[in-house]
Structure 1
Amino acid sequence: MTEASNSAVDRRALRTGRRADGTPARVTRRRAETRERLLNAALTVFAERGFGRVGIEEICEAAGYTRGAFYSNFDSIDQLFFVLYERQAELVMAQVHDALAGATPDEGLPALLDRVIDALLIDRTWVLVRTDFLLYAARNPDTATALIQHREAIRETLQPVVAGVVDLDTMPPALRDPEALTAAVLALHDAAAGRLLLEPDLATLRPWLRDMLTALLSPRR
């Protein structure tokens, strides 16, 4: 195998956590730290200047690395963004699972929603970056396709959680399908994120999101 091929395999292992044969890949502590610093630096400069207005050099400069360090971890800025996207999705799902872990069987929907919404750390910086990337993807069909696939993966992860706290038979006919109901929950989350851009007040946003989710998920009589 050539040196270039070895490099490509190394990058794949770092991105996916697995080698080409599917076995777990070993990532050194130093390399993991480099990757994390690049991700955090990219998030900062994306938020400050806007996605699409930032080049690899600017990310490397903010992180204190060379272009070589970037290409040892990511193939492109788009690919770096999707790693950020997956990291944020995993954080949100962890918050949801942690919030529901302490729930008791007799807790009703309002108490469960309180648990989840109080646990969510809604990050305006991430919302800014994600919104920029959404507009960028709208103008780039290949990127749009990849973004749709990532959003679908999030919906599939969240779907069992939603179905587990809601009696689907009590929902309106259009929302009795777990996929449709989960999509509606995510649409409300997106609406809350959009509101946060113009009104960066979590004290107001959390009750609004709680009211909207309660209206969506409450049983219909």
Structure 2
Amino acid sequence: MTQTARRLTRHEQQAQTRLRLIETADRMFAEGGIKAASLRSLCERAGFSQGAFYSNFASKEDLLLCVLERHIQQEVAFMQGLVSGSDREDLDDALDRLANRLAKIARDPHWSLLSAELQLHARRDPDFAARGDKVKAASLNEFTALLEDLIKRYNLNPAITTPDLARGLYALWSGLALQGSTRGELPRDQVFLSFLRNMIGSPRT
């Protein structure tokens, strides 16, 4: 007997539309920047009308922030899984996993292009910069919570406060993501690992 597919509710349809627009913008912003991605071309590529766009987002800038927020939330959740999946007796393994993941996303051209686009657009638009700062602050709070879990899990005594540790690690990641590769450089995972080992502290006795 064939089952009839359940009809989506209006809320579910809107959630799907929103996600499709975010995923399409994610690719287009990285390909050519926010200025090059016209609202019309973005909607056509996603398969929706401009009316559908404005039912979900106030502007392209609003969409850019949603794209970045989604990326960061996904990465923090992934890294939380890495930390929780590590042996409670093996701090080195947990730090290695975290450093390797940070290095991987710093090497990802898609991530670095989105990060650069955010910073460049913020320099051109003070209003967008203020909104971007709020998203960045929320992201840092999530990253701080991740590091607090790590510190608690291994009973560590960090050299600086956890929020400062999160800001330092975020700044290091941003710099390495935008810098690209240079000849003879120390591998990114080793840079992150050195920072973490020096700042995260040793287990309390």
TM-score, normalised with respect to structure 1 = 0.73
Partner of 1:179: 163
- What code does the residue aligned with 1:217 have? I
Matched, 1:131 2:93: no
Larger RCO (CA within 8 A; separation ≥ 6): 2
TM-score, normalised with respect to structure 2 = 0.78
Superposition map of 1:200-215 within 5 A: 204-215=187-198
Q: 1:126 to 1:27 in 2, by over 3 A?
A: farther
| Stretch deviating more after TM superposition (86-95 or 158-167) | 158-167
Q: Give the % identical residues.
A: 26
Q: How far apart are residue 207 of structure 1 and its match?
A: 3.9
Q: 1:36 to 1:73 in 2, by over 3 A?
A: same
Partner of 2:138: 153
Q: How far apart are residue 45 of structure 1 and its match?
A: 1.5
Alpha carbons 2:157, 2:201 under 8 Å: kept: no
Q: How far apart are residue 170 of structure 1 and its match?
A: 5.1
Q: Separation in 1 of the partners of 2:145 and 2:37?
A: 37
Structure 2, unpaired ranges of 5+: 1-8
Q: How many residues align?
A: 185
CA RMSD of aligned residues (A): 2.5
| Stretch deviating more after TM superposition (46-55 or 138-147) | 46-55
Correspondence for 1:142 among 114, 120, 127: 127
- What code does the residue aligned with 1:127 have? S
Correspondence for 1:195 among 162, 179, 183: 179
Partner of 1:114: 96
